Chains A and B, each alone.
Chain A
């Protein structure tokens, strides 16, 4: 039988570990000049991380399953085209999400 404090303890641990992960890079280089190699990473990582996050979000897409990932593909194409065309972040996100939610109910 788990203690009634178990959820709280779990939440506290998750909060502390997450916070540590967020603070470590900043604490490592406190008070000294950031090395050139790390500066370089800081410049190129944003671009690389963003495409990684897209893949991360789509990781559960089941190409062999019922929908064949068509809903994901169509919605993503719509988002990219819309963003290139109108350059309105909010519009791209809302349209893409609504489109996805409709498609998974139709297909």
Chain B
């Protein structure tokens, strides 16, 4: 009995530690998400939609840039086929997050379907890095990070609608928080690894495609070129650690 109690306390302590770790890691996303989703809510309110629409989108779609695009599509009554195709174009990058998380998320337990659903750009940036956690701790960490981020996003988008309905105010430029988040993570990854080739390939192929295909259509060609380049790199390096 007492032994069980001690064991339970130990488990509880470990869980609390992981929750704390996940919360601290999620703080930058909290800042970025609250700001962005509040902006999203305000935009939605300015088109005459209410809390319910905002809530539905943030709970079930939960994809930052796509929700901004969606406001535009819905406000302009785009056809449902156009809506589906635009979603594929804007969100195709999620395929790649999945590919790079297949092994990391292999044995993460019951939360796996939710964690896959909630794998946004920002959540990905927090869970994709190598770490020194054991597999159980890592699974919990990823789950908590996913839940925290989702809650920030939902909170902001409801808040945004309410603020937008009461006082319209100028939030231009606030979406730069996202750029800042990705740039910070990229800098961090750059500092922490000796192999800079993937980052260079990512930058060069996206700039190249941006230049050739223009800002509205460059994401998919970029990803194709990026993958080809990464495999060429693997061939050149002779497969030594693959």
A positions within 8 Å CB-CB of B: 2, 6-15, 17-19, 21-26, 29, 34, 36-60, 72, 75-76, 79-80, 83-84, 87, 89-90, 92-94, 96-97, 100-101, 104-105
- Indicate whether B43 reaches chain A with its CB closer than 8 angstroms: no
- Indicate whether B140 reaches chain A with its CB closer than 8 angstroms: no
Bound form: Cα–Cα A11–B77 in Å: 12
**A40: chain B residues within 8 A (beta carbon):** 230, 234, 242
Bound form: Cα–Cα A81–B104 in Å: 31
- Indicate whether B174 reaches chain A with its CB closer than 8 angstroms: yes
Asked whether, in the complex, the Cβ of B49 is within 8 Å of the Cβ of A34, the reply is: no
- Indicate whether B80 reaches chain A with its CB closer than 8 angstroms: yes
Bound form: Cα–Cα A42–B87 in Å: 24
**A37: chain B residues within 8 A (beta carbon):** 231, 242
Asked whether, in the complex, the Cβ of A11 is within 8 Å of the Cβ of B57, the reply is: yes
A100 CB contact (under 8 Å) in B106, B116, B173, B218: B173
- Say yes or no: A46-B116 contact (C-beta < 8 A), given A23-B98, A25-B95, A52-B202: no
- Indicate whether B188 reaches chain A with its CB closer than 8 angstroms: yes
Asked whether, in the complex, the Cβ of A52 is within 8 Å of the Cβ of B205, the reply is: yes
For chain A, what secondary structure do more than half of its interface residues adopt (helix, strand, loop), or is it mixed? helix
1/0 per residue, CB under 8 A from A, across B186-214: the answer is 11111101011111111101110010000
Bound form: Cα–Cα A83–B192 in Å: 12
B positions within 8 Å CB-CB of A: 27-28, 31-32, 35, 49, 53, 56-57, 60-63, 66, 70, 73-74, 77-78, 80, 83-84, 87-88, 91-106, 116-117, 119, 121, 124-125, 128-129, 172-174, 176-191, 193, 195-203, 205-207, 210, 215, 218-219, 222-223, 226-227, 230-231, 233-234, 242
A26 CB contact (under 8 Å) in B28, B88, B98, B121: B98
Bound form: Cα–Cα A14–B187 in Å: 32
- Say yes or no: A42-B199 contact (C-beta < 8 A), given A14-B66, A90-B27, A101-B173: no
7 smallest beta-carbon distances between A and B, as pairs: A25-B98, A48-B202, A47-B198, A51-B202, A57-B179, A55-B206, A96-B180
**B176: chain A residues within 8 A (beta carbon):** 75, 96-97, 100-101
Bound form: Cα–Cα A60–B94 in Å: 21
